[in-house]
């Protein structure tokens, strides 16, 4: 029904964007999000890879690089990885919105729309639903800045290896769960549209 598809579009548009788009078209948003997410994926992989390699290397007694010298990289890594999941969700939903704009019928999608509404409400309440991740990020950022400013904090910074791993673990787990639910919801909705077109 047309009402179902319009409701779904409204739900998608209720997502708080990661960027102030102004008057940019949906197509321009997709192109920009593709570019920025590609850059963030590369930077996050590099930074996180070096951090994890450094921690693992110290555990097995091999000095890949000194953990004491990695404060700046930790700060950059945190800033990249905090933004990346939201940009990926926005890209996926914006591409879905483009497909919906070319359709006029979406029968039997009320349950899918309700599920999508819950997912987007969680994404919009980023502070409430990610307080532990944000707290860990704040601690890492503060201690990382202090570590860069003075060598006296080397001992304190040494204890940040485990919180760093926990931080990445939480980010990956949350992304896996949310992305799985979002992808399934979008695929089910688009399959419904395709079946309606085929049957008509």
96 found inside a domain: yes
What does pLDDT average to over the chain? 85
Taking only the tens place, the pLDDT of each residue in 35-49 is: 999 999 999 999 888
- Each as own residue / partner, the long-range contacts of residues 89-92 (CB below 8 Å, 24 or more positions apart, any chain) are 89/15, 89/123, 89/178, 89/179, 89/182, 90/15, 90/17, 90/18, 90/33, 91/30, 91/33, 91/34, 91/37, 92/179, 92/182, 92/183, 92/186
200 found inside a domain: no
135 found inside a domain: yes
Higher pLDDT, 104 or 125: 125
Q: Residue 128: its pLDDT value, please?
A: 86
49 found inside a domain: yes
Residue 167 phi/psi, 5° resolution?
A: -60, -50
Quote the percentage of the chain above a pLDDT of 90: 42
198 found inside a domain: no
Domain around 185: 2-193
Q: Residue 1: its pLDDT value, please?
A: 57
Domain count, the chain: 1
Taking only the tens place, the pLDDT of each residue in 109-124 is: 788 899 999 999 999 9
- In this predicted structure, the answer to whether residue 12 has a pLDDT above a threshold of 80 is yes
């Amino acid at each position: 029904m047309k009402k179902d598809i319009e409701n779904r579009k409204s739900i998608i548009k209720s997502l708080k964007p990661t960027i102030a788009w102004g008057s940019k078209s949906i197509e321009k948003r997709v192109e920009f999000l593709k570019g920025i997410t590609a850059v963030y994926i590369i930077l996050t992989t590099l930074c996180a890879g070096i951090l994890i390699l450094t921690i693992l290397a110290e555990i097995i007694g091999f000095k890949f690089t000194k953990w004491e010298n990695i404060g700046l990289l930790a700060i950059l890594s945190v800033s990249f990885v905090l933004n990346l999941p939201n940009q990926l969700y926005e890209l996926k939903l914006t591409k879905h919105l483009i497909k919906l704009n070319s359709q006029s019928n979406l029968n039997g999608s009320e349950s899918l729309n309700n599920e999508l509404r819950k997912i987007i409400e969680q994404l919009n309440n980023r502070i409430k639903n990610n307080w532990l991740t944000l707290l860990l990020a704040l601690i890492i950022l503060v201690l990382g800045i202090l570590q860069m400013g003075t060598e006296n904090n080397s001992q304190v910074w040494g204890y940040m290896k485990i919180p760093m791993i926990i931080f990445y673990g939480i980010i990956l787990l949350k992304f896996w769960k949310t992305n799985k639910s979002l992808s399934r919801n979008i695929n089910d909705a688009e399959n419904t549209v395709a079946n309606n077109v085929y049957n008509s």
